[in-house]
Amino acid sequence: MIQKHSLRDIKKEATAHALADASYELALERGLDGFIVDDVVQKAGYSRRTFANHYSCKEEAVAAAAVSFQGTDAQEAERILSEVNADTEPLDIFYRLMRTQLVTEHIGKMRDLVSLSKRYPTLEPFILSAFHQLQISAQQMVSMALNGRYPEAYTHLLAGAVYGSITPLLDGSVKVLINGETAGDETEALTFDQYLETMFNYLRNGF
């Protein structure tokens, strides 16, 4: 089970979310060179000291916005893990968690970050770190739910395969429609649900 957070933890997470969202919005509006940390804290309503308690720089805060989840997301993840039984396959748990983690809002933000990183290369390592944190979080939850039924190395490799499949969706090499996008002339474009089903079918059945 996921450890329940104290009120202090919840407030700390809410502050981190607010700072990340403010940084992300400013990056979209002005570009990464168009604002400083003072702009972020003014927009979010916090102090520079509070910012420093959560992030080392504005790039880290911007990247965090794409993997910043509210309390309802954690509750949904906890519900999913509570339903795991001895017959549940690891891949099925990853599937359920990914459906929770990667709602269209987060995918859209991830795409924005990838686009921004092409103009501002200093953002790239922070994006990679944020994506890695997303993968590690899911891996830890799945390992906990499996309770030793599978080797740790198996869960680790499976997490790498599952979350590595996000990359084509983000860099545009596979056209996936989100946030009301239409296929237009791109007949091979997939909805996110179709992409996810196709990808997990490949993982279940082999390539």
CATH code (residue 19)? 1.10.357.10
- Dihedral class, residue 137 (left if φ above 0, else alpha if ψ from -120 to 50, else beta): alpha
Instruction: Give tens-digit pLDDT for 149-188.
Output: 889 889 999 999 888 888 787 777 777 776 666 666 555 6
In a domain, 119, yes or no: yes
Average pLDDT rounded to a whole number, residues 53-63? 95
82 vs 64 pLDDT, higher one: 64
53 vs 83 pLDDT, higher one: 53
In a domain, 2, yes or no: no
The two tokens of residue 184 are 């237009």
In a domain, 41, yes or no: yes
| Structural contact between residues 41 and 49, judged by C-beta atoms closer than 8 angstroms | no
Average pLDDT rounded to a whole number, residues 125-142? 86
Domain count, the chain: 1
In a domain, 122, yes or no: yes
Range of the domain at 146: 7-205
Is this model's pTM higher than 0.85 or not? no
Residue 53, amino acid = N
In a domain, 1, yes or no: no
The pLDDT of residue 2 is: 44
